[in-house]
Structure 1
Amino acid sequence: MAMHKTAAQAVGASALAALVLTACGGDENGSGDADQEMLNNAGTLQVCSDVPYPPFEYYDAEGEVVGFDIDIAEAIAESLDVELEIVQTGFEGIQSGVALDSNTCDLAISGMTITEERAGNMLFSEPYLDDNLGLLAATDADVASLEDLEGLTVGVQTETTGADYATEAGYDVRDYPDSGLLIQGLESGQVDAAIGNISILGYQAGESDTSEFIEEIDTGEQLGIAAQSENTELIDAVNEALAEMDSSGEMQELEDSWFREGDTPEEGDAEGEASEEPTEDAATEDEGDE
């Protein structure tokens, strides 16, 4: 697969300045016109992703960004015959479409559920993963189902479908800016349970001795890759790459590796985030994932 490099610093709101669109270079037969400025920078596919969000994207012990989404991004970059650059970006900028519209990246690949609201701000690929919500609870919280959450504090990640579900259900909700802090909040006793995508919480449950997976919530969610609303050429190329991954069996191999077999790279704390205890201030920041 294509080699990738990681942007050294997260992109904040002040850094979402527009970049000059640069057309991809054409081949010897002059195919540059067909590219129609498909990428911001010729020869490089820039992908916005909110790190960490294991197993979709996170730092391994060597400080490299790895994960299910990253493997897919590498396959897409290889199909386009370009280099991959991961641009760490807060999820609010991703799910709102701001990161794409400001040309911070060409694609957003960040475990993002396709919703009607988001589809109004960006162009989605065909779904690449089916996903539901799930309930994770502390082992000593005496939670056997969603019905047991009354009077308990439920942790969610801000701006996610899990946060929407928990809020609409009327639970006592506490927001966290990313999934790592959400899980830390559950393990430290700040919250009694957590609601989020089953692909994330199921993975975390397998890594924890203090929490257990309780229940799947059938919401019929699907994850998609997004580009600027007008960039149909790039999304067509993404869909072709995804279709090839499906037909070759590569997508199933990745799903098995990241979600079922459990033989994945160990998490590290390259940005100092994985080792930090969640704080009251951190729990109220306005970025999230999913």
Structure 2
Amino acid sequence: MTRNNKASLTAFLSLTAAGALLLTGCSSNGDSGDSADAGPLLKEGVFKICSETAYPPFEFKDDSTGEIVGFDIDFANEIAKDLDAKLEIVSSSFESIESGAALDAKNCDAVISGISINDERATKFDFSEPYFDDNLALLVRDDSGITSLDTFEGVVGVQDATTGQAFATEKGLDPKAFEDGTIAVQALESGSVDGVINNIATLAYFAKDNSSLVIADKFGSEPLGAGVRKGNTELLDSINATLKRMDEDGTREAMLAQWMPAIK
């Protein structure tokens, strides 16, 4: 190799190394790259969550303001506050949330959407400590004569990709899946289904102001958690720290009283 070629090669390698450093700098600002490299948030100063926004009292649109509100939203705002970040909500299908697809696509930093903690989901993303203990329940029309799951006959409405759907299938029922829980309850009201199985917090919300709907039975334990991408321990630790702080200062108790008085 001639001296000139050696010099050219040395210059080339120097430029390549400088370019690599520039690229590393671009990745570390949080706009791209894995969360392990970019810090706890995809974008500095913004805490972005994916949520299925038709699931009261966890998350739903306030008709008077058009804003998304609910227990989960208040929880997410507390996390954002402790992160010194602004909350941003990405409306997503529950299937994309519970499957881990929304996190894998980096649509958000965390998924917070009334997600029951189970072993299958824990293989797809990391869960926080439980922030709410729920149950599955059966909602029926008051005049149906159904008093428990054992006396239930007919078609049961469920939300697609939920533990309620899995439970109904395991029990040998005839589940009819809907995109969200609100539509499933509307189908019960119209007579399209004979009952709805979902989390009791949501079903109690619909029943509290509708005397034609009653909770006929409840079963199982459904601890709910927030989910983050695998390995994002910094964000997970922050969420768990917020949960601890909320218990110590009474914030979680106040949220329960506001959003879930029927089952508090």
TM-score, normalised to structure 2, is 0.84
Q: What is the CA–CA distance in structure 2 between the aligned matches of 1:77 and 1:198, rounded to whole Å? A: 27
- Whether 1:223 and 2:236 are equivalent positions in the alignment is no
In structure 1, list runs of 5 or more residues that go unmatched.
1-19, 26-33, 263-290
Tell me how many residue pairs correspond in the alignment: 233
Q: CA deviation at 1:261?
A: 6.4
For residues 156-211 of structure 1, the C-alpha deviation after alignment (integer angstroms, 9 at most, x for no partner) is 11111111111110112111110110110000000111111111111111122321
Q: CA deviation at 1:118?
A: 0.3
Equivalent position amino acid for 2:119 in 1: E
Equivalent position amino acid for 1:226 in 2: G
Q: Which residue of structure 2 lines up, in the alignment, with residue 249 of structure 1?
A: 250
Bigger relative CO (Cα 8 Å, ≥ 6 apart): 1
For residues 126-154 of structure 1, the C-alpha deviation after alignment (integer angstroms, 9 at most, x for no partner) is 0000111111101121101111113x111
Of 135, 140, 147, which residue of structure 2 is paired with 1:137? 140
Q: What is the CA–CA distance in structure 2 between the aligned matches of 1:132 and 1:103, rounded to whole Å? A: 30
Q: What is the CA–CA distance in structure 2 between the aligned matches of 1:259 and 1:123, rounded to whole Å? A: 26
The sequence identity of aligned pairs, in percent, is 43
Q: What is the CA–CA distance in structure 2 between the aligned matches of 1:171 and 1:240, rounded to whole Å? A: 41
- Whether 1:41 and 2:43 are equivalent positions in the alignment is yes
Q: CA deviation at 1:102?
A: 1.1
Of 98, 102, 122, which residue of structure 2 is paired with 1:95? 98
How do 1:162-177 residues align onto structure 2 when only pairs under 5 Å count? 162-177=164-179
Let me know the Cα RMSD of the aligned residues.
1.9
TM-score, normalised to structure 1, is 0.77
Q: Which residue of structure 2 lines up, in the alignment, with residue 207 of structure 1?
A: 209
**Higher share of residues assigned helix:** 2
Q: CA deviation at 1:35?
A: 8.7
In structure 2, list runs of 5 or more residues that go unmatched.
1-25
Q: In the alignment, is the contact (CA less than 8 A) between 2:138 and 2:198 conserved in 1? A: yes
Of 74, 78, 81, which residue of structure 1 is paired with 2:81? 78
Q: In the alignment, is the contact (CA less than 8 A) between 1:21 and 1:103 conserved in 2? A: no
Q: Which of 1 and 2 has greater Rg?
A: 2
How do 1:268-283 residues align onto structure 2 when only pairs under 5 Å count? none
Q: Which residue of structure 1 lines up, in the alignment, with residue 185 of structure 2?
A: 183
Runs of 4+ with deviation above 3 angstroms: 20-25
- Whether 1:127 and 2:126 are equivalent positions in the alignment is no
For residues 221-258 of structure 1, the C-alpha deviation after alignment (integer angstroms, 9 at most, x for no partner) is 20000000010110001100111001111101101110
